[in-house]
Amino acid sequence: MTNKIKKIQALEILDSRGNPTIRVKVTLENNINALAAVPSGASTGEFEALELRDGDANRYGGKGVLQACENINTKINKALKGEVVTDQKRIDRIMLDLDGTENKSNLGANAILGVSLACARAGAKAKNKPLYKYLGSTYGFKVKDFSSPVPMFNIINGGKHADSGLSIQEFMILPVGINGSAERIRVGSKIFHTLKTILSTKGYSTGVGDEGGFAPELNSHAQAFELIIKAIEESGYKVGEDIVFAIDAAANSFCDSQSNEYILKPENISLDYNQLIALYLEWIKKYPLFSIEDGLNEEDWDEWKEMKQKLISENKNLMIVTDDLTVTNTKRLQKAIDSNCANAIIIKPNQIGSLSETIECVKTAQKAGWKIIVSHRSGETCDDFIADLAVAVGADFLKAGSLSRGERLAKYNRLMKIEDELK
Residues known to be catalytic:
211, 348
Question: Do 224 and 166 meet the contact criterion of CB atoms below 8 Å apart?
Answer: yes
The minimum distance between CB 346 and Zn ion, in angstroms, equals: 6
44 belongs to the binding site for ligand PGA (CB under 6 A): yes
Q: Which is nearer to ligand PGA, 323 or 360 (CB)?
A: 323
**Among 11, 13, 42, 94, interactor with ligand PGA by CB under 6 A:** 42
297 belongs to the binding site for ligand PGA (CB under 6 A): no
Q: What are the C-alpha distances in Å from 331 to residues 116, 143, 325, 328?
A: 21, 27, 11, 9
407 belongs to the binding site for ligand PGA (CB under 6 A): no
Residue 356 contact, options Zn ion, ligand PGA, none, Cβ 5-8 Å cut-off depending on partner type: none
Could you tell me which residues come within 8 angstroms of residue 366 by beta carbon, excluding any fewer than 6 positions away? 372, 393, 394
Site for ligand PGA in 229-248 (CB under 6 A): 248
Q: Which is nearer to ligand PGA, 8 or 327 (CB)?
A: 327
48 belongs to the binding site for ligand PGA (CB under 6 A): no
Query: Could you give phi then psi for residue 67, rounded to 5 degrees?
Result: -65, -40
**Among 15, 54, 99, 248, interactor with Zn ion by CB under 5 A:** 248
Residue 174 contact, options ligand PGA, Zn ion, none, Cβ 5-8 Å cut-off depending on partner type: none
Residue 302 and residue 340: Cα distance in Å, rounded?
10
Query: Could you give phi then psi for residue 98, rounded to 5 degrees?
Result: -60, -40
The minimum distance between CB 109 and ligand PGA, in angstroms, equals: 14
288 belongs to the binding site for ligand PGA (CB under 6 A): no
Could you tell me which residues come within 8 angstroms of residue 266 by beta carbon, excluding any fewer than 6 positions away? 165, 166, 167, 218, 219, 220, 221, 223
Q: Which is nearer to ligand PGA, 41 or 108 (CB)?
A: 41
41 belongs to the binding site for ligand PGA (CB under 6 A): yes
298 belongs to the binding site for ligand PGA (CB under 6 A): no
Q: Using CB under 6 A as the criterion, which residues of the chain lie in contact with ligand PGA when the complex forms?
A: 41-44, 248, 250, 323, 346, 375, 377-378
Residues that bind Zn ion (CB under 5 A): 248, 323
